[in-house]
Structure 1
Amino acid sequence: MTTETPVPQARRGGRLLDGKLLVGTAVVGALVVLSLFTGVYDVFGADDGGEMFAITRVPRTVALVLAGAAMAMSGLVMQLLTQNRFVEPTTTGTTEWAGLGLLTVMVLVPGASIGARMLGAVLAAFVGTMVFFLFLRRVTLRSSLVVPIIGIMLGAVVSAVSTFVALQTDMLQNLGVWFAGSFTSVLRGQYELLWIVALAAVAVFVAADRFTVAGLGEEVATNVGLDYGRVVLLGTGLIAVATGVVTVVVGNLPFLGLIVPNVVSMFRGDDLRGNLPWVCLLGVGTVTVCDLIGRVVIMPFEVPVSLILGVVGAAVFVLLLLRQRRHG
């Protein structure tokens, strides 16, 4: 797959571990600690404060770390495979497919476990991402703007199907809650399967060089002896796992996979292995900051993190478009 704006190979990058990364880790670590102690409930003064801290604050903060890193990583891999900076799971329909899979499982098996719901979401996300790639292969004009438009249109169709099914089965309210993208309901005993995305991140790091070569295009990858189809299949599977699991546990986190890889790429180039720690770190920091804002802006109530991410992400998306136009 080639576009008019191919992702170049590692313009900059530098060492994998350096002083700046350590500073960034310290800053994000401070945000994570702040998340542990931010909330309406008095975990210090109440009699059951320690128990509530373990049941709600710790799981929520761990979920912030895992979900933020997973979705940012998914956006980076998807941008490499499509050679387009404007794609990520929420602009390719992957998230909508995951939601449809979740809804299908809930309709067919109302009492399904969280593991069964995740499996349905992951399978649907995988199928949807492959459908997007198949559409992309048949599009003659693959400009930087046409590619995400295709994904958004596919996502809109899938979202319409999900809404129709939800209306027919009286689950429209549940569908709205699932796609709210909030960490409010993350509790101990309900988030542990989210650790699966950590394994997906490790797999991406192991296969980083293959994804980087695949990002140069099918012809180049094949010429250097890479099985392009297998690498695309692997990347699609990892994206589906991350998106499906996060959708079931947290909901929709729009534009996170768009913002973070582009910001990192501006400063470090496009080497996946070198950028992955930065992408994961910035993903965690971004979603944590947005969640903290959502918790305090109208305290004691909360604003879903997806709302804040949507506003920030839309603004960054427009800025990226303007930057793309300015630089030809």
Structure 2
Amino acid sequence: MIDRKPRWTNWTIGLAVGLGSALLFCLSLAVGADDLVFARLFDDPATVQLFLASRLPRTLAAMLTGAGLAIAGLIMQTLARNRFVEPATAGTAQSAALGILIATLLFPAATLATKTLIASVAALTGTSVFLMTAHRLPPTQPYLVPLFGLVYGGVIGAIVTFVGWQADLLQFLDIWTSGEFSGVVRGRYELLWGAAAMIVLAWWVADRLTVVSLGREISVGLGLSYQRTLQLGLVIVSVIAALTVVIVGIIPFVGLVVPNVVSRIMGDNLRGTIPWVAGCGAFLVLGCDLLGRLLRYPYEIPVATVMGVVGGLLFLRLMFMRSAHG
């Protein structure tokens, strides 16, 4: 028999996450190299400009990025039927970076929207290849899937680095592959609202994605178009990955640890877990971004570096818990 926590415990945790996110939101608006006094928002033009042009866009970008990456990881784990994959470890983010590199080489004057479109196509192609290969691996060896993802993503990353070195674009590659929010300002982050639209779309088709996780035979037997639902899930993951890589860069572990933590509390029904996963992802990334700003204040540590440490510790904790409880 599987022990389950009472429903009130889930809502208590949700309330704690909500209050914590609200606190982090306010702290993120207040922390920065320049002092921001909230009392001056109504009478000081410089304070209003700082708030609207920098602090608010950065805070919203961190929350949208965290929520989007967590949902992308949840959907990828559902499609691959494996708990140990996410966009950053399965070649999706690296494929998006390759798409941005191609767009930069072929269309130097391309807008962010154009680069996002090309990166989405590249991410969709790379993720499709990963899933086709992952479904051919023995289901009795679940660790082969993440191992293949790491090798696959490493090969694509090596290609990106080689092409970038040949084209003298290594500095640009460092921006795309190391996620940080210091360059996020008004007029640059707005595309991340597309990640919010993808989250809504994922919630709308959550029941179909849950059925897809049962396999092709069961999905077809229940009257579901397995191929179309799989393609829709791939599109959601690819668009979110492309948006985050174009605007912020690659941030690891968010799509890996957040869905696993939430599933231990809420179960595997995507309809019920998507809001929780999105909220916890936003909380985690915003917290890591704030921590990176405070550790060496007034200097910053990139959120990808902080997330690598925090996410790695959380992942090890999950692994030990899995080992302890069988």
Distance across 1 between alignment mates of 2:5 and 2:196: 27
Task: State the match for 1:186 in structure 2.
Answer: 184
Distance across 2 between alignment mates of 1:43 and 1:31: 15
- Choose the corresponding residue for 1:300, options 298, 306, 319: 298
Counterpart amino acid of 2:29?
L
Distance across 1 between alignment mates of 2:177 and 2:196: 22
- Choose the corresponding residue for 1:35, options 19, 24, 28: 28
Point out the structure with the larger helix share.
2
Task: State the match for 1:53 in structure 2.
Answer: 51
Sort the Cα spacing of 1:211 and 1:12 in 2 relative to 1 into closer, same or farther, 3 A: farther
Counterpart amino acid of 2:70?
A
Preserved contact between residue 295 and residue 301 of structure 2 (Cα < 8 Å): yes
Q: Which runs of 5+ in 2 are unaligned?
A: none
Distance across 2 between alignment mates of 1:141 and 1:205: 27
Equivalent positions of 1:110-125 (< 5 A) are: 110-125=108-123
Distance across 2 between alignment mates of 1:141 and 1:286: 31
Task: Please say which of residues 36-45 and 109-118 is displaced more in the overlay.
Answer: 36-45
Distance across 2 between alignment mates of 1:24 and 1:311: 21
SS at match of 1:182: coil
Distance across 2 between alignment mates of 1:320 and 1:82: 19
Query: Which whole-Å deviations, capped at 9, do the CAs of 1:283-313 have from their partners, x for residues lacking one?
Result: 0110011001100100111000000111122
SS at match of 2:298: coil
Equivalent positions of 1:98-177 (< 5 A) are: 98-140=96-138, 143-177=141-175
Distance across 2 between alignment mates of 1:154 and 1:247: 18
Preserved contact between residue 43 and residue 50 of structure 1 (Cα < 8 Å): no
The alpha-carbon deviation at position 47 of structure 1 amounts to 6.7
The alpha-carbon deviation at position 234 of structure 1 amounts to 0.6
SS at match of 1:52: helix
The alpha-carbon deviation at position 214 of structure 1 amounts to 0.9
The alpha-carbon deviation at position 315 of structure 1 amounts to 2.2
State the TM-score, normalizing by the size of structure 1. 0.92
Query: Which whole-Å deviations, capped at 9, do the CAs of 1:119-174 have from their partners, x for residues lacking one?
Result: 11111111010010111133235522111111111100000000011011000111
After superposing on structure 2, the runs of 4+ consecutive aligned residues of structure 1 that deviate more than 4 Å are 11-15, 17-20
Preserved contact between residue 80 and residue 135 of structure 2 (Cα < 8 Å): no
SS at match of 1:244: helix
Query: Which whole-Å deviations, capped at 9, do the CAs of 1:50-109 have from their partners, x for residues lacking one?
Result: 211111001101101111100001111111111111111011110000000011101111
Counterpart amino acid of 1:51?
Q
Counterpart amino acid of 1:178?
W
Task: Please say which of residues 165-174 and 35-44 is displaced more in the overlay.
Answer: 35-44
Query: Which whole-Å deviations, capped at 9, do the CAs of 1:198-217 have from their partners, x for residues lacking one?
Result: 11001000000011111112
SS at match of 2:82: coil
The alpha-carbon deviation at position 19 of structure 1 amounts to 5.7
Q: Which runs of 5+ in 1 are unaligned?
A: 1-10
Preserved contact between residue 14 and residue 274 of structure 1 (Cα < 8 Å): no
Q: How many residue pairs align between the two structures?
A: 318
Q: Percent identity?
A: 41
Does residue 204 in structure 1 map to residue 202 in structure 2? yes
The alpha-carbon deviation at position 18 of structure 1 amounts to 4.7
Distance across 1 between alignment mates of 2:11 and 2:309: 32
Preserved contact between residue 12 and residue 270 of structure 1 (Cα < 8 Å): no
SS at match of 1:170: coil
**Aligned-residue CA RMSD in angstroms?**
2.0
SS at match of 1:307: helix
Task: Please say which of residues 216-225 and 32-41 is displaced more in the overlay.
Answer: 216-225
SS at match of 1:84: coil
Distance across 2 between alignment mates of 1:172 and 1:152: 22
Counterpart amino acid of 1:81?
L
Task: State the match for 1:5 in structure 2.
Answer: none
Task: State the match for 1:3 in structure 2.
Answer: none
SS at match of 2:263: helix
Task: State the match for 2:285 in structure 1.
Answer: 287
Distance across 1 between alignment mates of 2:293 and 2:165: 31
Sort the Cα spacing of 1:312 and 1:20 in 2 relative to 1 into closer, same or farther, 3 A: closer
Distance across 1 between alignment mates of 2:36 and 2:316: 41
